[in-house]
Structure 1
Amino acid sequence: MKKLFSLLLILSFIAGFSQTDTTQVIVPNRTNSAEALSKPYVILISTDGFRYDYVQKYLAENLMKFSESGVVAKAMIPSFPSITFPNHWSLITGLYPSHHGLIDNFFYDYKRKEPYKMSNKENAEDGSWYGGTPLWSLAEKQGMLTASMMWVGSASNAGGARPTYYYHYHEKFTPNEKVDKVIDWLKLSEERRPHFITLYFPEVDASGHHFGPGSNETKNAVHLVDAAIGTLVEKVNQLGLKNVNFIFVADHGMINVDREHPIAIPEILFDKNRFDFYNSQTLLRVVVKNPEEIQSVYKELKKNKTNDYRVFLDEKFPRKLNFSQKDDRYNRIGQILLVPKVPKIFLEKDQKTSIGKHGYNPYTVPEMKATFIAFGPAFKQNKKIGEFQNVNIYPIVTDILNLKITEPIDGTQKVAKEILRK
């Protein structure tokens, strides 16, 4: 009996320790302004790792149908580096990573003297790490209620105002459960109904990492999300709301990498008295602690490098990637960048990696490019457009919702003018 009691106690402790907070958070005492009540609705959907060619490659029926009735881009170009947190924050702020400060999923801030890790809830929900004004904050400050289903940074106070309705990040909800919660938001009374909603799906990215972009598992994940989108649109239509618009995007693509022949990190960089380095495997950022050594270290790294990667002084990094020293508003990038040639990756000894990865230059590695499909009353029909940068999503949303952009962004009105009816 004592053994049974002890076992139950242990199981109870484990269950309590691993309990996930799935409760919705509602900011009290907010209602839509009179002006907001008459405005359209925008549902911005991100499917992590949904590569630009997945719709056709895997015959995603619903997204194919919606792209034919609305606007579809040849591809959407992620910001550099083409990874999850920087790009979701670029999509929602209209700023490049070097300008909003989220330059990697993991980085160190030398002014704050502390690290940022996407897996650290305290970091992820601390708005002081995030620059720019996210769309939900912009809308809330202008009298419009918003809601977010686990978009990067949505549980933080970045920009000065959280969404009225949001969840702490977890992966307990299925895609259809997320859809049902979005529908519940849209069933609220007019004064409490959000007009801007962000919705995030991680399944395609997870399958791409674990099994590769060409796997049956990734195909099944694409179909899973595609079915959820179809259900979402059907249920929204049943509500009879006027002027509901959908924007389907991704943060980046995916490619198989060479796990069998990784690049060894140069031995010199392991001298912690002289260097810090940050390895995302598709990019190695180096901080030289003594600024007087930067040039000599750069020359030494170039001299001893292999043909599998290139070495850049950050100040000389390709301009179109907006990741150079003069772009680095938060001084978080580092002074020297080591960039592997596809499909190579940097690995430390005994470090593990996945089959599929992202993070490479989207201009030279097309597999990094993302999907863009938009449909609804605000958008032109049967419209195909070329490639564009993801920072242009921000002004598309502000134009539809008639929100005033209150601070400079990197996106422009060009794409909005091309695809919107007005």
Structure 2
Amino acid sequence: MVWAQQLVFAPAASTPLSNGTHPWRRSVILVSLDGVRPAYLTPELLPHLSQAPALVAESMRPVSPSLTFPNHWSLLTGVSPGRHGIVANDFHRILRDKSSEAFFYQDPARSWNGSWWGAEPLWSVAERAGQSSAVLAWPGPPITSHGERPRHFQRYVKGWSTADRLRTIERWLDMGSVDERPSLICAYVPDVDAAAHGAGPDPSDPSVAAALRAVDDFIAALLRSIAARNASELVDVVVVSDHGMTQTSSKRLIYLDEALGAELYGEILTRDGWPSAGLRFKSASAQTAARDRLRKLAKASSFQLLDAEPLAQQWNWTAPDEHVMRERVAPLWMVPDVGWSITTAAEMATFSDGVYSPRGNHGYDARHPDMQAIFAAHGPSFRRSAQRIPPFRNLEVHGLVNELLGIPARHRPPTEVSHSSLSALQR
């Protein structure tokens, strides 16, 4: 744990605490600022966030693919997509009768079923340990396949402002009962990601600059709200992002229909992922022909062609679940170079200005600098003087939050980060 020596001793979870008027438990607010890159974490762009933390990482490495839903579930579970099963923002699973079901992140009817979501999220761990939890629009289901649910759940509402999110958090903080007031709040803020998809990641663009101001003001207001409740010595605020962002271009396009030819393109059964393309075909012969054709093109193009197993290895999925690999990971993947996009002539015809969109994108190799995420923390568990720490994997956030909450080891599920190293977090 690269941040272990930056923590100070925190009282046991059972130790009585108070803000002076009400009993409290040790609490954590985990905030995700979707799409915020480490390069944005400067006094000029994010003055409050860059100056408030007692602990900030040079960067935090997301899991691959560097997409919103896979990374938000990895942050909460401490395992990679090959184990928790959310392998993209949109994908299919092939059932035993060879039929398919589609997961689509923007549609709760096609994404909230708990059977999609493997591993155990932090809010479930907290609830099992006797602590209340709350979820504010964080990507994930309202109830797991095992029937576990957070005490408080606010679904994602399109168009909600940062003020709407702050009011929701304040309402939870103002709950009088220590058993109802959430010890863990997981809050999702999409503003920067939405702006950078539309305009590209350049912070000088007015829409991106406005989004950065909005999320920075949100963090400042959140810290003020905590202080106004005399809870600054009771609440740790951990701010992360899920991935970075890079610029796309109409000069960096791979036409899938052209690459395969009309006949093979018509044989596609399902297409998964984005910007990568996971392909299944209607027949084994079509799949073989497509593999041969694309392999030749890949030698002189800006994409890799990978089968499922090599893809899992390249994406550093540790011990992927065999059911996930068999049911949810397409057998053939086109993985574009960073900044390249896979499209079709039909899709390009929908852009009235002839310019490929989104103009900013992610989902590429998680090791690339443009894909890196942020980590910053502030609160009573961290040293008062600002400390900058080396990069680390986002899978480690799970263990950190468990430590901050004082979750006993017997309640913690297995992750891809060794539990034995967590003992160094407190001293």
TM range (shorter): 0.7 to 0.9
- Root mean square deviation, CA, Å: 2.7
* Helix, strand or coil at the partner of 1:162: coil
Question: What is the rounded CA distance, in whole Å, between the counterparts of 2:393 and 2:211 in structure 1?
Answer: 25
One-letter identity of the residue aligned with 2:334 = L
Equivalent of residue 163 in structure 1, options 150, 156, 161: 150
Matched, 1:228 2:212: no
Is contact 1:98–1:322 with CA below 8 Å preserved after alignment?
no
* Equivalent residue for 2:170, pick from 167, 179, 183: 183
Given candidates 204, 216, 229, the residue that maps to 2:206 is 216
Find out whether 1:78 has 2:65 as its counterpart: no
Which residue is 1:18 aligned to? none
- Residue 130 of structure 2 corresponds to 143
Paired-residue identity, %: 27
Number of equivalent positions: 386
Structure 1 match to 2:397: 393
Match of 1:315 in 2: 309
Q: Aligned pair in 2 of structure 1 residues 110, 325: CA closer, same or farther (>3 Å)?
A: farther
Q: Normalising by the residue count of structure 1, what TM-score does the alignment of the two structures yield?
A: 0.84
Pairing 1:349–2:342 present = no
The one-letter code sitting in structure 1 at the alignment partner of 2:207 is E
Amino acid at match of 1:195: S
Q: Given residue 181 of structure 1, which amino acid in structure 2 is its aligned partner?
A: T
Deviations 1:209-230 (A, max 9, x none): 0011102311221111101110
Following superposition, the deviation at residue 184 of structure 1 comes to 1.5
Q: What runs of 5+ residues in structure 2 fail to find an aligned partner?
A: 1-12, 17-22, 352-356
Asked if structure 2 preserves the Cα contact closer than 8 Å seen for 1:110 and 1:332, the reply is yes
Q: CA deviation at 1:172?
A: 3.6
AA aligned opposite 1:185: W
2:28 corresponding residue in structure 1: 42
1:63 aligned partner: 49
- The reply to whether residue 369 of structure 1 matches residue 365 of structure 2 is no
When residues 59 and 172 of structure 1 are mapped into structure 2, their CA distance, relative to the original with a 3 A threshold, is closer
SS at match of 2:165: helix
The answer to whether the Cα contact below 8 Å between 1:254 and 1:356 also exists between their aligned partners in 2 is: yes
- Residue 97 (structure 1) shift: 1.0
**Greater RCO, 1 or 2 (C-alpha within 8 Å, sep 6+):** 2
Note closer, same or farther for the CA distance 1:270–1:131 as it changes in structure 2 (3 Å cut).
farther
Render the CA deviation track for 1:198-252: whole Å, top value 9, x for unaligned. Answer: 1111110000000111023112211111011101101101111242101000111
CA change 1:309–1:156 in 2 (3 A) is: same
Q: CA deviation at 1:298?
A: 2.9
Alignment-derived partner of residue 406 in structure 2: 402
CA distance in 2, matches of 1:205, 1:89: 17
**Distance across 2 between alignment mates of 1:323 and 1:292:** 29
1:115 equivalenced with 2:102 (yes/no) = yes
Checking the alignment, whether the CA contact within 8 Å between 1:58 and 1:219 is kept in structure 2 is no
Deviations 1:257-316 (Å, cap 9, x if unpaired)? 122441011325864785434254421112255568766643332113342212122222
8 Å CA contact 1:313–1:336 kept in 2: the answer is yes
TM-score using structure 2 length: 0.83
Aligned ranges 1:95-134 → 2 under 5 Å: 95-111=79-95, 113-134=100-121
Q: What is the CA–CA distance in structure 2 between the aligned matches of 1:159 and 1:136, rounded to whole Å?
A: 13
SS of equivalent to 2:64? coil
Residues of 1 paired with 2:155 and 2:268: CA distance? 35
Mind listing any 5+ residue stretches in structure 1 that lack a counterpart?
Answer: 1-32
Is the CA contact 1:137–1:162 (under 8 Å) kept in the aligned structure 2?
yes
Change over 3 Å in CA distance of 1:136–1:107 after alignment to 2: same
- How is 1:192-341 mapped onto 2 (pairs within 5 angstroms)? 192-214=180-202, 215-241=205-231, 242-265=233-256, 266-267=259-260, 271=264, 275-278=268-271, 280-288=273-281, 290=283, 297-305=290-298, 306-317=300-311, 319=313, 321-323=315-317, 329-330=323-324, 331-341=327-337
Contact persistence 1:269–1:276 (CA under 8 A): no
Which residue pairs with 2:72 in the alignment?
Answer: 88
Cα 1:383/1:295, change in 2 over 3 Å = farther
**Larger deviation, residues 77-86 vs 334-343:** 334-343
Q: State whether residues 271 and 278 of structure 2, in contact with CA within 8 Å, keep that contact through their aligned partners in structure 1.
A: yes
Q: Distance in 2 between matches of 1:269 and 1:159?
A: 45
Distance 1:224 1:326, change over 3 A: closer
